[in-house]
Homo-oligomer: A and B are copies of this chain.
Amino acid sequence: MSATNERLLDAAENGIRLSGYHAVSFRDLADELGIKSSSVHYYYRQKEDLGVALVDRYSKRFFADVEKRAETAGTDEERLRAFCQTYRNALTGSDRICLCGMLGAETCGLPKALADRVEAFFNANIAWISDALNADMPADKRAARAAQILATLQGAMMVATSLKKHRLFDDIVGALFEKPKS
């Protein structure tokens, strides 16, 4: 992949994570890179293609990061914390919500191929978390708990950036791990 292509994906990812799919235009991306918008079409024939490539790269990087962090984790809870840390890093490293969080909200207004990738990302998230949950939890409860963790992470990013209080993300996710007083 060429350097320009990579810069293109970077710019598009930033823009979408900040303001949404429909708020990002080929012209803006081209201007940011110092090229012409027709050159953007050279890399991605349609905007939809750019979106799909974006989610693919994002998803690949995301799970690579999760796996890397989970490698050194001993317990189930440590694996879960590693997962949440990937989200946290995505937020605090860029002040932007998850790419798929944004696209997930916009689902109904997206090209089908793009919406399908986002759906796949979420399903993979839930599958990963389910695996990390304590095995003595019944299977159906594991799925619900996994979905809850995913929803909390996504919602926490959205609320925290919207309120411009990034610490809120930590507070929210921290409460997720709190042991109930016995």
Contact = CB atoms under 8 A, between A and B. Distances in A.
Chain A interface, DSSP helix/strand/loop, else mixed: helix
A105 interface: yes
Contacts of A20: 20-22, 105-106, 109
A52 interface: no
Nearest to A106: B20
A159 interface: yes
A182 B107 CA distance: 40
- Of A141, A168, A180, A182, most B-chain CB atoms within 10 Å: A168
A38 interface: no
Interface string A113-149: 0010011001100000000000000000101110110
30 contacts: A18-B108, A19-B22, A19-B106, A19-B109, A19-B110, A20-B22, A101-B158, A102-B106, A104-B162, A105-B105, A107-B162, A108-B161, A115-B162, A119-B162, A122-B159, A122-B163, A144-B172, A144-B175, A147-B168, A147-B171, A148-B152, A148-B172, A148-B176, A150-B159, A151-B152, A151-B155, A151-B172, A152-B152, A154-B154, A182-B182
A158 to B, nearest CB: 5
Interface residues of A, number: 48
A97 interface: yes
